[in-house]
């Protein structure tokens, strides 16, 4: 608690994994945001064009693969590839558990706006088991799905003979984490396991009690397969100044993106992460573990892009951060097959006792963002 601090520019906390602060108290996300404003993006734009030309299908067919959910970021990347760079992307969705109606509609709208698409529907019981193990052993309630949007996507690329995969932003760079890929346009499978999956991939599969056949969709191709197919895993945010709100506007205009009717649980926005109910639980657990939630993330994005002052963001964080998604509680209890007491006890295991005190059935913060 004595070392607890917040970024002097945005509201990132010192509890965020892999975060760093400079001598002026700015987090690495804010340092990167400032650097982006003065970068010569034409250098990286040329690198993008060179990369695309290397994989552009000479005789027609698909050139690359883009994971999408129907949300703003995958829709934006797909639109740029197809309509700005003349590529022919194959888009892929791994169906999440507990999908939301607005998310389902957005995916349908995206496909209808002119994209070839593959919908992967994992065995729901297998994903439920992996998500439950992820919740209990990692404090990560959609860990099975998080695995699949990496493993299954790469498997599809290998099976279609596609070597280039484009995800949206590299969250570590954009939001305050490891900076080791800041000068690299691609990431390795080892990096995905270590950082994106928090070294939990093998742990969750091993603890699931599921067979290798049952978890085939959740395993990365071998090094031999990756090398044979020359798989390159890129993030679009490396090549241009990433702006989630710009992505939202493009996706809304060209891909039929719709917002939720009300602001999302735990935040003040309504246009992002609308595909599944488990995301609200994920960010609540993030709050219990680290002291910051969905509103802190959203406010940081708005502050760094110059659309909000730090004081405005601070007021929103104090108002919204850490709200439990009560509206989804019956859904969670049924999905994880837990009584309410067992479910709450499971969440309690992940609460940081240096940051929170239990009061009744909920946790009270021992700190106030500043």
Which residue is associated with the tokens 């009744």? Answer: 360
> What angle is formed at CA 200 by the lines to CA 198 and CA 204, rounded to 5 degrees?
155
| Residue-wise pLDDT tens digits, 251-305 | 999 999 999 888 888 888 877 777 899 999 999 999 999 999 999 999 999 999 9
In this predicted structure, what is the pLDDT of residue 49?
Answer: 96
Reply yes or no on whether the pLDDT at 59 is more than 90: no
Q: Which pTM does this prediction carry? A: 0.93
User: How sure is the predictor about 358, in pLDDT bands with cuts at 50, 70 and 90?
Assistant: confident
Phi/psi region, residue 114 (left: phi>0; alpha: psi -120 to 50; beta: rest), is left
Q: Name the DSSP letter for residue 95.
A: P
Reply yes or no on whether the pLDDT at 155 is more than 90: yes
In this predicted structure, what is the pLDDT of residue 262?
Answer: 83
Average pLDDT over every residue of 195-201: 94
In the chain, which segments carry CATH 3.40.50? 41-238
Least confident among 16-20, 95-99, 154-158, 362-366:
362-366
Reply yes or no on whether the pLDDT at 1 is more than 70: no
% the chain with pLDDT above 90: 87
- In whole angstroms, give the CA distance from residue 53 to residue 280: 39
Average pLDDT, the chain: 94
> What angle is formed at CA 15 by the lines to CA 12 and CA 16, rounded to 5 degrees?
60
Average pLDDT over every residue of 310-327: 93
- In whole angstroms, give the CA distance from residue 200 to residue 296: 25
- In whole angstroms, give the CA distance from residue 155 to residue 152: 5
Reply yes or no on whether the pLDDT at 91 is more than 90: yes
Average pLDDT over every residue of 211-225: 95
Reply yes or no on whether the pLDDT at 2 is more than 80: no
Give Cα 139 to chain centroid, integer Å.
16
Reply yes or no on whether the pLDDT at 132 is more than 90: yes
In this predicted structure, what is the pLDDT of residue 116?
Answer: 97
DSSP string covering 164-217, please?
Answer: EEEES--HHHHHTS--TTTT-SEE-HHHIIIIITTT-HHHHHHHTT--TTTTGG
Average pLDDT over every residue of 15-42: 94
Q: What is the CATH number of domain 41-238?
A: 3.40.50
Work out the angle between the directed axes of helices 340-348 and 278-290 (0-180°, nearest 10).
Answer: 40
């Amino acid at each position: 608690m004595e070392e607890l601090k917040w970024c002097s520019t945005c509201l990132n906390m010192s509890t965020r994994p892999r975060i760093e602060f400079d001598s002026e108290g700015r987090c690495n996300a804010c340092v990167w945001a400032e650097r982006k404003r003065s970068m010569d993006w034409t250098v990286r734009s040329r690198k993008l064009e060179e990369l695309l030309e290397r994989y552009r299908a000479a005789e027609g067919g698909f050139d690359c693969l883009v994971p999408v959910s129907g949300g703003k970021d995958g829709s934006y990347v797909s639109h740029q590839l197809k309509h700005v760079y003349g590529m022919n992307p194959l888009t892929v969705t791994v169906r999440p558990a507990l999908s939301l109606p607005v998310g389902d509609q957005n995916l349908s709208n995206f496909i209808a706006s002119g994209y070839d698409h593959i919908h992967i529907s994992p065995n729901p019981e297998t994903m439920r088991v992996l998500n439950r193990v992820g919740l209990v052993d990692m404090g990560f309630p959609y860990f099975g799905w998080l695995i699949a949007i990496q493993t299954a996507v790469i498997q599809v690329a290998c099976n279609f003979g596609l070597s280039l995969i484009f995800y949206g932003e590299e969250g570590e760079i954009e939001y305050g984490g490891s900076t080791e890929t800041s000068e690299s346009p691609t990431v390795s499978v080892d990096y995905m396991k270590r950082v994106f999956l928090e070294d939990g991939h093998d742990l969750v599969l091993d603890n699931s009690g599921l067979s290798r056949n049952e978890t085939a969709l959740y395993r990365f191709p071998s090094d031999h397969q990756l090398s044979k197919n020359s798989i390159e895993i890129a993030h679009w945010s490396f090549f241009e100044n990433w702006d989630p709100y710009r992505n939202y506007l493009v996706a809304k205009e060209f891909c039929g993106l719709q917002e939720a009717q009300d602001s999302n649980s735990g935040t003040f926005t309504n246009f992002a992460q609308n595909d599944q109910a488990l995301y609200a639980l994920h960010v609540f657990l993030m709050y219990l573990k680290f002291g910051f939630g969905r509103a802190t993330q959203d406010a940081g994005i708005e502050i760094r892009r110059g659309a909000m002052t730090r004081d405005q963001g601070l007021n929103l964080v104090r108002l919204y951060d850490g709200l439990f998604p009560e509206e989804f509680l019956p859904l969670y209890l049924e999905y994880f097959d837990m009584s309410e007491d067992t479910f709450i006890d499971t969440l309690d295991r992940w609460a940081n006792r240096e940051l929170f005190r239990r009061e009744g059935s909920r946790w009270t913060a021992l700190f106030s963002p500043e």
